[in-house]
Amino acid sequence: MSVAKAMSVDAFYAAVITRGVDIVNVAHLGRTVTAEQRTALQLRDPTCVVPGCTTSTGLEIDHTTSATGWADTRRTTLDQLARLCHHHHQRKTHHGYTLTGTPGTWHWRPPPSHEQEEEEDTAG
């Protein structure tokens, strides 16, 4: 089950209700962005939004830490999305890093345990 959940984090699902061969209803069940949002993100975020990163190819769309409310509304605004390089997206998704702020004022933070290690390194 944990593998299925991990694989479906950015997955797109569609529930299709049929009556025989007729399609009665379709419900999208994933956290996907609209075509309009994708175009706007490509223009707004030409490089990875992590401060100091200049990667511009293979960028991945991410729901930022400030993206709260999706479970309630099933909607995501453009300000709740950002494009990250694969490296930073993996760090955020699997290693506890966070991206907060808004477009133009993004803040990249390591996990608390990593911050403590950095403080200890500089104190010693």
Measured CA to CA, the distance from residue 50 to residue 56 in angstroms comes to: 12
pLDDT over threshold 50, residue 121: no
What whole-number percentage of the chain has pLDDT above 70?
68
Compute the mean pLDDT over every residue in the chain, rounded to the nearest whole number: 79
Tokens of 3: 């593998």
Mean pLDDT calculated for residue range 113-123: 50
Residue 97 DSSP SS3:
coil
Q: How confident is the model at residue 122 (pLDDT cuts 50, 70, 90)?
A: very low
Amino acid 23: pLDDT = 83
Mean pLDDT calculated for residue range 27-49: 86
pTM to 2 decimal places: 0.66
Amino acid 63: pLDDT = 85
Helix (H) or strand (E) holding 84: strand 81-84
Q: How confident is the model at residue 38 (pLDDT cuts 50, 70, 90)?
A: very high
